[in-house]
Structure 1
Amino acid sequence: MFDQKHYVPVLKWKRGEQIALKQLDASSRESLTPLIELVPVPYDYVNERPAKSIDDHLNGIGEELLNAWGEKRPVFIDPYWIDQSERMSNGLHPFYFILEDIRRNKMKAIPVTGTSRDKDYQQEVIKAHKKDGLGVCLRLEDEDFLDVKGAIIDLIKLLKVTPAETDIIIDLRSISTNDDSKNAIFALTLLKDLPSIMDWRTLTICASAFPETLSEIPANSIGIIPRSEWGVWKILKGKEHLFKRMPTFGDYAIAHPEYVDIDPRIMRMSGNIRYTTENSWLVVKGVQVKKNTWDQMHGLSAQLVNHPSFCGKGFSWGDEYVFNCSNRDCSSGNAETWRRVGTNHHLTYVTKQISNFFSS
């Protein structure tokens, strides 16, 4: 389906990420396959209960995917953050509902699973493969790394799929910054332990060094966070002769791998722009929004536009928004706006970065 010149971003399915995907140019779309993580039902902290039913939460997922991605290219779909005990009001498994809605919208979705998923979940993956013939994606993480070979063999036996019908994602999740060599050695060990490495339909290694919070970056400053997952992948590329197959690069865009739902009444969010560069993220950080409003984003945008790492107005939809915001030609936006701006720039940047890496 794709090789090491491709890109697999893991995106939590919220409106910011949806619009970021929708606004991607054609070249970037052809160069990546997103892994969509469905987020849990939002919580109503005032009334101390879920804000909506699971039915309402998942209703329209197929149309959302179609609008953001289109029907030509497949996606990996993973209800990773939805509790496995959840059921729709009619008793159906949420994954069945999700996949049926995607089919109704004539999209192609490859179901993602792993060793921690329960029996009912695995049955939905088996049924999806039988019905769609799109294969499955095995997402390996955490305890799977103690016995990679055993985890994979047990899963494909359970799912009744062949390696040629199986995508493998080695998900390191959150990794430390400035420790690329040690992380690369660990990844290299996992790759060496992978059984039948040449036979899998695709092979991806994924990680993220983006922090859970930006509290370490002072207000009214520009912070730098190393993109250590990119550093690890480049080390692996340089050691390609030590193993038989170079994996595709994957990351979590401009987000930490964990899903965090914070009570908005106690949230102390500062205005910030997350901007991907060659080996790091720039974080242009302002001050608390509650006290100073989102109007500060015009000034933060101007700082970014004047920074030597700014790629220019025409680089991506996100870059154009930053440029226009710096000139007060558009709204200062909100948290969702800046997630879609930063994510769109990141996806565009990484696809171009990978392409340039192999053409140089």
Structure 2
Amino acid sequence: MLTYVPILRAKDGEFDALRHMHDRVARSVMPLLDVQKQPTQTSKAPKSSKTPKSLQDYLSDVASKLADAQNDRPLFVDMFNFGPADKVESGEHVYTYFCGELHAHGMNFHAVVGVDRWSNIEYRAAIGHVLAMNGGKALLRLETEDLEDMSDPTMFDDMLGDVLDQCGLIARNLPVLIDLGDIRNRPIADLLPDVSAALEFLRARGFIQVVIAGSSMPTSINEAVKKHNSAAFLQRGEMILWKTLLASTPGVRVVFGDYGVRSPRSSDAMSPDTNGKIRYTVGNEFLIVRGHSMRIGPKGGQMWGLADYVVKSPQYAKEGFSWGDEMIKRCSEHKIKGNSTQWIAFDTSHHLAAIVAETYEYARTTGGISALNQPV
């Protein structure tokens, strides 16, 4: 049963978190994997003797890793960071090519139809090919700008009608994602009327399943924790927004979504001055424990103290709660240090389990449990 749609980068850290999900968590999580562009070598980085991979080889490798991590569990897949007409070397559209690789691995993938890209004829054709490949399983992705376009209902209805007609989809069976992106500087009081109006707009047109996703995580850890070697709590506005909407939106099943433990605007570029950090999800908040630059001693060894802080805090959920919690405990015992990719995996693993528990408990105690027990 669908409880939670995390929007995750299709990267090694996220793959490890998905691979290690407990079955009780995996049953309630249907992730949306956003495929990232192939990393480019910067002028400051040492030159590699290896020939860069072709885009086809890169996408094939990502698809293979995703298949290994997710197996036959359902997922949504998007290529939001690519252009709507981007192609691989053979001339095939990137989305068709990537989904073809997932299909070859026998994956249960659902297409994501981006309204922001729908005007492009090559994108529309690619979506059509993917829907023919996966049996017509899809998600409609709306962004903040699309919500603004609803102020012209005639124009927006024409676009919706075109999507449904060309894709052979029915509103009642098509889940919608309202992707708010970075909401760190957007007060809940400002978001609520816009999102509520969008939910009513969609309900009136027959849509009954809507995912609300956003992220309060800053792009840099020093925006959340000002001092080195200290800790702070950061409010997760996306969770508070969902809890407010769950009970106030009759006729629509409102599903929680977020961006995991990363900001949608954060960079994947590695820096030797990256601070050690643990992003630990608790009720309505992140507990963020910040260390110092990895250039400064004890370098990676600083993670032992950060993990010990989490384990000794009243917020620690114990090592049996998730694989990530087990790894935090092992780190606190000086058994591992973990690199930046591994800490994305550990933090994400705990986050997925914590969100499933939090959303289920809130819905149970407020009588909104039926909203969580409907599959998309």
TM-score (norm 2): 0.87
The 3 A distance-change label for structure 1 pair 146 and 26 is same
Are 1:171 and 2:168 counterparts?
A: no
Equivalent in 280, 289, 309 of residue 285 of structure 2: 280
Residue of structure 1 in register with 2:234 after alignment: 225
Contact 2:113 2:138 survives alignment (8 Å): yes
Residue of structure 1 in register with 2:213 after alignment: 206
Query: What is the RMSD of the two structures over their aligned residues, measured on CA atoms?
Result: 2.1
Distance in 2 between residues matched to 1:47 and 1:230, nearest whole Å: 40
- Provide the secondary structure at the position in 1 that maps to 2:221: coil
Distance in 2 between residues matched to 1:170 and 1:178, nearest whole Å: 15
Residue of structure 2 in register with 1:57 after alignment: 58
Equivalent residue runs for 1:133-148 within 5 Å: 133-148=135-150
Equivalent in 316, 320, 328 of residue 314 of structure 1: 320
- List per-residue Cα deviations over 1:52-103 (Å, max 9, x = no partner): 43122212333222211111x3210001112344322211111111111111
- List per-residue Cα deviations over 1:310-357 (Å, max 9, x = no partner): 11111110001101110112x201100110000000000111112212
Distance in 1 between residues matched to 2:31 and 2:238, nearest whole Å: 17
Gaps of 5+ in 2: 366-376
| Residue range with higher mean Cα deviation, 157-166 or 307-316 | 157-166
Residue of structure 2 in register with 1:86 after alignment: 86
Distance in 1 between residues matched to 2:186 and 2:113, nearest whole Å: 31
Residue of structure 2 in register with 1:181 after alignment: 189
Distance in 2 between residues matched to 1:131 and 1:196, nearest whole Å: 30
Distance in 2 between residues matched to 1:152 and 1:104, nearest whole Å: 31
Are 1:252 and 2:253 counterparts?
A: no
Contact 1:35 1:78 survives alignment (8 Å): yes
Q: State the Cα distance separating 1:196 from its structure 2 match.
A: 4.1
- List per-residue Cα deviations over 1:275-333 (Å, max 9, x = no partner): 0000100111000002231111011111111111111111110001101110112x201
TM-score (norm 1): 0.91
Residue of structure 1 in register with 2:102 after alignment: 102
The 3 A distance-change label for structure 1 pair 249 and 106 is same
Distance in 2 between residues matched to 1:166 and 1:238, nearest whole Å: 22
Equivalent residue runs for 1:110-129 within 5 Å: 110-117=110-117, 118-129=120-131
Distance in 2 between residues matched to 1:166 and 1:96, nearest whole Å: 20
Contact 1:198 1:245 survives alignment (8 Å): no
Instruction: Give the residue type in structure 2 aligned to 1:219.
Output: H
Contact 2:76 2:109 survives alignment (8 Å): yes
Q: How many residues are paired up?
A: 350
Contact 1:271 1:287 survives alignment (8 Å): yes
Equivalent in 23, 27, 32 of residue 24 of structure 2: 27
Instruction: Give the residue type in structure 1 aligned to 2:170.
Output: T
- Provide the secondary structure at the position in 1 that maps to 2:136: coil
Instruction: Give the residue type in structure 2 aligned to 1:62.
Output: A
- Provide the secondary structure at the position in 2 that maps to 1:314: coil
Q: State the Cα distance separating 1:153 from its structure 2 match.
A: 3.1
Equivalent residue runs for 1:145-156 within 5 Å: 145-148=147-150, 150=156, 151-156=159-164
Contact 1:285 1:300 survives alignment (8 Å): yes
